Amino acid sequence: MKKQSQWKSSTGFILASAGSAIGLGAMWKFPYMAGIYGGGAFLLMFLLFTIIVGLPLLIMEFAVGKMGQTYTTKIYEKLTQKKWLNIIGWNGNLAVFILFGFYSVIGGWIIIYILKVLGQLIGLSSGNLSSIEFEAIITNPWLTIMGQGIFILLTMVIVMMGVEKGLEKASKIMMPLLFIFLIVIVVRSLSLEGAQSGLRYILQPRIEDLSVKGTLFALGQSFFTLSLGTTGMITYASYASKEMTIKTSALSIVIMNIVVSVLAGLAIFPATEAFGFKPADGPGLLFKVLPQVFDQMAAGSLFYFIFLILFLFAALTSSISLLELNVSNFTKNNNEHRARVALIASVLVFIISVPATLSFGSLNDVRIFGLTIFDAMDFLVSNILMPLGALGTTLVVGQLLDKDALKESFGRDRFKLFSPWYYLVKLVLPLVIILVFIMQLI
């Protein structure tokens, strides 16, 4: 029988959507963005956006998935009877396709580091962790293309196996472990000499550091970490049973994401200052700073190796959701063609990921509106396609969907939160997103 994939339990749904949300966004992208756009001021804006904009939007996406119960290039038509609105689903599909293209570059870096550290552990190469040269890695075309190829391959194999057999079970162990590791790194980082100024940098909002650009990127960061506007979360909610509780699921994902982002900031910035790096160092920040921290620990190489495996796992549970969205749309949720579609989509992603990788090396001079290919892909997704997708969904939910049906999807409402949420989504959030677009143009 042709059958749509379904989670066996609501825990499966929460683990998978938390897995999609928590990944490179919180651990790699948040610190590097905060380092460029004002530290504590960026953190403050990120927190405000995540709570006021991100949380209601996540609840919205879950509600739409739960109501529609189908793939996202069909769900808008199913809910509104207007076929052209499926364009919101296609926008999301395009967004995750490009996103996977540049996400895999960083996934590839993690894999290369894993191999390098393993080489040191088994004695194939000498030196400590800090001797692994970041610049030499990211400018090496064959090495980085191999790394991202492995990352895409791993994602593909897991997706081919189907959601039921996915990684949810493993994430029950891996995610708490990653969390413990992060805390250990924070403790070590904070106890370094000179750590205080880094701590102040990330925790103390200095209003003068707040720029319009930083504010826009903080909103983009909220969208990115919560996987919003790509309809990825709608897809996962459409696999879930009607009984799942969308508010608590969304709230727990938002809280976990904030905690991991803040921990990543606390792990990176004290050490950044202590070792004399620049906070605004860009995408390589985490990769340059963490080896230094682990070098200060007993059995640091072994712990760094384990940390990288956990980090890779977190990245994979996100990349799986990126590929899963394509597979779900192009197979129309018919599991029969799963493997073939996953293969074709992965090959195409690999092709577009190559220029993104090379933009750290031989293609570094190529600029699109002043941005490298990698940064331009990220900007297009995080600051344009994701907000656009979320805007489209707020308009559908606020203007076209039946309020009573939405209320039912919202679930039991002990604290009378439905109305404030509904009017926020209907009236306020579309305006916020439009305003942000106008500011971006200016």
Q: Which residues bind ligand PFF (CB under 6 A)?
A: 20-21, 23-26, 96, 99, 224-225, 227, 230, 232, 318, 321-322
Q: Residue 117 CB, nearest distance to ligand PFF (Å)?
A: 22
Q: Residue 263 CB, nearest distance to ligand PFF (Å)?
A: 14
Which is closer to ligand PFF, CB of 71 or CB of 224? Answer: 224
User: Are 61 and 231 in contact, with CB atoms under 8 Å apart?
Assistant: yes
Go through the chain and tell me how many residues it has.
442
Which is closer to ligand PFF, CB of 85 or CB of 96? Answer: 96
Q: Residue 21 CB, nearest distance to ligand PFF (Å)?
A: 5
Sequence-distant contacts of 277-280: CB under 8 A, at least 24 apart: 278/35, 279/34, 279/35, 279/36, 279/39, 279/198, 279/201, 280/35, 280/36
Q: Which residue is nearest to ligand PFF (CB)?
A: 25
Q: Residue 249 CB, nearest distance to ligand PFF (Å)?
A: 15
Which is closer to ligand PFF, CB of 273 or CB of 375? Answer: 375
Instruction: Transcribe 211-258 into DSSP letters.
Output: -HHHHHHHHHHHHHHTTTTSSHHHHHHHHS-TT--HHHHHHHHHHHHH
Q: Around Cβ 211, how many Cβ atoms within 10 Å? A: 13
Which is closer to ligand PFF, CB of 130 or CB of 318? Answer: 318
Q: Which residues pair with 128 in a beta bridge?
A: none
Which is closer to ligand PFF, CB of 63 or CB of 260? Answer: 260
Q: Residue 260 CB, nearest distance to ligand PFF (Å)?
A: 9
Q: Residue 196 CB, nearest distance to ligand PFF (Å)?
A: 29
Q: Is 123 helix (H, G, I), strand (E, B) or coil?
A: coil
DSSP type of residue 33: H
Burial of 332-367, coded b for 16+ CB within 10 Å and e otherwise, reads ebebeebbebbeebbeebbebbbbbbbbbeebeeee
Which is closer to ligand PFF, CB of 21 or CB of 356? Answer: 21
First to last CA, the chain: 53
Q: Residue 120 CB, nearest distance to ligand PFF (Å)?
A: 27
Which is closer to ligand PFF, CB of 24 or CB of 425? Answer: 24
Q: Residue 73 CB, nearest distance to ligand PFF (Å)?
A: 14
Q: Residue 327 CB, nearest distance to ligand PFF (Å)?
A: 13
Which is closer to ligand PFF, CB of 21 or CB of 199? Answer: 21
For residue 232, what are the contacts with CB-CB under 8 A and spacing of at least 6?
20, 92, 96, 321, 322, 324, 325
Which is closer to ligand PFF, CB of 45 or CB of 58? Answer: 58
Which is closer to ligand PFF, CB of 156 or CB of 195? Answer: 156
Burial of 401-426, coded b for 16+ CB within 10 Å and e otherwise, reads beeeebeebbbeeeeeebeebbebbb
For residue 420, what are its two tokens? Answer: 């404030």
User: Are 292 and 150 in contact, with CB atoms under 8 Å apart?
Assistant: no
User: Which CA distances in Å does 140 have to 93, 146, 147, 240, 269?
Assistant: 30, 10, 11, 43, 27
Q: Is 414 helix (H, G, I), strand (E, B) or coil?
A: coil
Q: Residue 23 CB, nearest distance to ligand PFF (Å)?
A: 3
